[in-house]
Each structure stands twice: as C-alpha cells, then as structure tokens.
C-alpha cells in the first residue's frame, strides 16, 4: 500500500491516528473539569502504566479537553535532577496567558504574573548574574508571596493565586506533568501539599500527572500525601476490540480494509500494547500489496516491525544501561517467564551475589526508568516484552 498514505504512528508521544479504548478516561476527565469549574470537590488525576501504553498521548488529549473547556493549561516533562520551580513557572505562564484573553481585568492578570515572576526568580536566587535565568515575564516581580524559597510554601501560595485568577472567569487551570516519577522528593511533597490545600478550598486548579507504575507508591510514601488525594487511572494495553479499532478506523479513512485473520494475527503480535499496534500496523501497511490486508501480509511484515522495535523501542533503552545494570536485567529476564515482576532476592540468587551488593545496579535502573519496584521486594520491567527482547540479544 502507498507508504505516503500510511496512517500509523509508532513513536514516543506520537499522536495516534485513532485514540482507541480510552473513552472511560476521557469521560471521567470531562466530569472532573465540569465539577472543578463549579467549585465541587474533586481530586487531581494520575495516569500510570508501562512504557508505550499511551500515557503521554492521553495526557495531551486531556489537555486538549481542558483547553476546549476554556481552561488555562500548561505542561511539564519532569526530568531526574531537575527542580520543579522553573518548568512549573513556564507552564503556569502559559496557562495565565491563555486566561488573560478572556479575563476582563488586566491588572489582576499582571498582579498574578508579578507573583509568578517572583516565584520563578527564586530558581536562580544566589546565582551569579550570568547564570541567572530570566523567566520572560514582562511585568515587574511582586514580592512577598510564593517567593520564600521553600518550594512547599511557595507552591501552595502560587497555585492558590493561579486558581483564583481562573475562578474569576468561571474556569480552572490544569497543570500536566509527564514522567512524574522523575520528580525529586521535595517537589513531590510540595505538589501533594498544594493539592491538599486546593481541594480543601475547592479551588479550581488540578494537577494531572502521568508516570510509571510505581508512581502511586512514590506519592503515598511522601509525608504530605494523604490516601485520597489523587484519582488513579491505570493505563493498560488495549483489549482486542480497541486494538482492532486502532487499526481499522485510520485504514477505513483511506479505503483500506483488514481481513479478520489479519486482525487476529496483528493482535497476537502486538499483544494490545499501543506502541506495538502502531509499529506492526505501519510495517504491515507498507508490505501489503492491496486491500484487504491479509494474515500473510502480517507474517511477511513482522520481521521489519520487530527490527524497528528492537532499535527504536528496546535498543535505545538498553543502551542507557551500564554493563552491571545489563547483567542485572539479564538475570531478571531469565527469571521472569514472561514479563512479570520477580523478587529481588531471586535475582541475587541467580547472580550468586548478596542482595546489598546489587543495590547500585537496581537503583540505577530504577532511576533510568527501565525497571520499577512493584510490590514489596519485587521488581519488573517498565518496558513491555523487555524480558523477551533481552533473551534475544
């Protein structure tokens, strides 16, 4: 089939031609938006799941939903070893700019921007002039609020001000945080504290986070985090119906069909993981000589898809690991029959080492986002089918 018209989009954060199987989350989010804007108590939202299940694209879709409700929005991608203050200031700046268009009182908007600037300038306080960062907010800083230097205090004050600004015009603000597991403990604690205050006040500002499966455990380990602060949505692989939909709907728009056997074969290959659905869909499309696409086309295209996944999805991650970390993952792969979590004690036994001597490798892998600690004393791969991949290299 014409590769130019190939609709499928494998790739991190790539918007899929059809966002399949996420109606439940989208509907739930619309309700959250409506309730928050009306001052009803609501919880902030956390999306969790393995690599490639579609957290980022869902987060982006939720952001579009908030924008279409007239909300102010901003997005952050957390990175290890980076403080929240600077990226958060930029995200809120963007949200405030969106609100400014609808706000009748420009002085109030400027007042908020002044507070935001003081908050932002704290990121580089004490640094030399050359290292100083200019937040690009063209109003004078308003000192005295959100600029104590203690992120926990400043975040509550800043977000309450932001919420009030949105409340003036009957909307809200949503701050989206991707890769949230990469935030440091102080920032996590500050967010929990701020969300707590916001929800107690029914203030119209929510945080929408996305992260790996251990994000809920990370949040609840934070001292300022109470059990019921966040609504969690586990983002998982697509069921057969949704995976078919992800393939069929974009093809239909190009007048292309799949045979039932082709869909069956594609589901067996992709296992419902959205990234894999896109990868196999793309390779199969390029391979197929004509519509309808057949199971034979899938079989011929599969090695191409697998090669591309080996480089783009698995290999790029594998390369980040040190030799010791690779050895650790190999042992995990040998133990995990499929991809399931394995106990850290079993990994140590497999390698003939003391568990404590393996902590650096394990911690390194967690920090790199390749494995996560599941239930007590167990770890799993964050990348689906990673065990299978490791056994093949």
Ligand X SMILES: Nc1ncnc2c1ncn2[C@@H]1O[C@H](COP(=O)(O)OP(=O)(O)OP(=O)(O)O)[C@@H](O)[C@H]1O
Long-range contacts from 250-253, C-beta under 8 angstroms, 24+ separation: 250/7, 250/8, 250/17, 250/18, 251/7, 251/285, 251/293, 253/7, 253/17
Nearest approach, Cβ of residue 300 and ligand X (Å):
22
Taking the complex as a whole, the smallest distance from the CB of residue 192 to ligand X amounts, in Å, to 22
Query: Could you give the CA distance from residue 30 to residue 40 in angstroms, rounded to a whole number?
Result: 13
Residues 1, 7, 19, 225: which binds ligand X (CB under 6 A)? Answer: 19
**Binding residues vs Mg ion (CB under 5 A):** 55-56
Contact with ligand X (CB under 6 A) among 7, 16, 87, 193:
16
What's the min distance (Å) between Cβ of 94 and ligand X? 21
* Residue 26 contacts ligand X per CB under 6 A: no
Q: Which of residues 254-313 bind ligand X (CB under 6 A)?
A: 274-275, 277-278
β 44-48/173-178 pair status: unpaired
By CB under 6 A, is residue 177 in contact with ligand X? no
Q: According to CB under 6 A, which residues from 46 to 85 bind ligand X?
A: 49, 51-57
d(CA 162, CA 74): 12
Tell the smallest beta-carbon distance from residue 121 to ligand X (Å). 31
Q: How many residues bind ligand X (CB under 6 A)?
A: 25
Answer yes or no: are the C-beta atoms of 121 and 84 closer than 8 Å: no
Interface mask toward ligand X for 337-376; x: CB under 6 A = ----------------------------------------
The answer to whether residues 82 and 102 touch, using CB atoms and an 8 Å cutoff, is no
Query: In sequence order, what are the beta bridge partners of 379?
Result: 342, 373
DSSP 227-290: TTSEEEEE-----HHHHHHHHHHHHHTTT--B-HHHHHHHHHHHTT-HHHHHHHHHHHHHH-SS
Angle between the N-to-C axes of helices 185-200 and 151-168, in degrees from 0 to 180, rounded to the nearest 10: 40
Q: Is residue 11 part of the contact set for ligand X (CB under 6 A)? A: yes
Stretch that binds ligand X, among 14-22, 138-146, 250-258, 358-366 (CB under 6 A): 14-22
Phi-psi region of 40 (alpha: psi -120 to 50; beta: other; left: phi over 0): beta
Q: Give how far Cα 37 sits from Cα of 34, 203, 206, Å.
A: 5, 9, 10
**C-beta nearest to ligand X: residue:** 54
> At closest approach, how far in Å is the CB of 114 from Mg ion?
34
Q: Which is nearer to ligand X, 254 or 334 (CB)?
A: 254
Which of 32, 151, 165, 246 binds ligand X (CB under 6 A)? It is: 246
- 16, interface contact from Mg ion, ligand X, none, CB < 5-8 Å by kind: ligand X
Name the residues that contact ligand X, by CB under 6 A. Answer: 9-14, 16, 18-22, 49, 51-57, 246, 274-275, 277-278
């Amino acid at each position: 089939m014409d590769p130019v018209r190939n609709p499928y989009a494998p790739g991190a954060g790539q918007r899929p031609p059809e966002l399949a199987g996420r109606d439940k989350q989208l509907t739930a989010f619309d309700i959250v938006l409506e309730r928050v804007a009306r001052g009803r108590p609501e919880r902030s939202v956390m999306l969790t799941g393995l690599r490639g299940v579609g957290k980022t694209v869902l987060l982006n879709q939720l952001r579009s939903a908030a924008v279409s409700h007239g909300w102010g929005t901003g997005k952050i991608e957390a990175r290890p070893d980076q403080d929240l203050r600077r990226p958060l200031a930029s995200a809120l700046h963007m949200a405030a700019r969106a609100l400014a268009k609808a706000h009748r009182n420009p002085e109030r908007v400027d007042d908020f921007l002044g507070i935001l600037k003081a908050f932002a300038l704290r990121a580089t306080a004490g640094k030399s002039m050359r290292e100083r960062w200019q937040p690009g907010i063209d109003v004078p800083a308003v000192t005295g609020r959100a600029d104590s230097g203690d992120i926990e205090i400043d975040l509550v004050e800043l977000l309450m001000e932001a919420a009030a600004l949105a409340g003036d015009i009957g909307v809200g603000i949503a701050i989206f945080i991707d890769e949230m597991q990469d935030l440091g403990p102080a920032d996590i604690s500050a967010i929990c504290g701020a969300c707590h205050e916001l929800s107690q006040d029914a203030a119209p500002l929510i945080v929408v986070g996305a992260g790996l499966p251990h994000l809920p455990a990370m949040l609840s380990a934070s001292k300022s985090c109470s059990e019921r602060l966040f609504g969690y949505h586990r983002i998982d692989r697509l069921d057969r119906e949704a995976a078919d939909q992800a393939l069929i709907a974009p093809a239909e728009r190009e007048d292309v069909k799949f045979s039932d056997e082709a869909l069956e074969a594609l589901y067996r290959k992709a296992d419902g993981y959205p990234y894999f659905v896109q990868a196999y869909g793309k390779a199969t499309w390029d391979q197929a000589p004509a519509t309808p696409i057949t199971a034979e086309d899938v079989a011929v295209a599969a090695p191409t898809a697998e090669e591309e996944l080996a480089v783009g999805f698995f290999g790029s991650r594998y390369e980040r690991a040190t030799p010791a970390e690779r050895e650790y993952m190999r042992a995990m792969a040998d133990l995990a029959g499929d991809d399931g979590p394995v106990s850290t004690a079993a990994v140590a036994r497999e390698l003939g080492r003391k568990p404590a001597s393996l902590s650096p490798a394990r911690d390194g892998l967690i920090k790199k986002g390749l494995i996560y600690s599941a239930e007590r004393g167990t770890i799993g791969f964050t990348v689906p089918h990673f065990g299978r991949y490791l056994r093949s290299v």
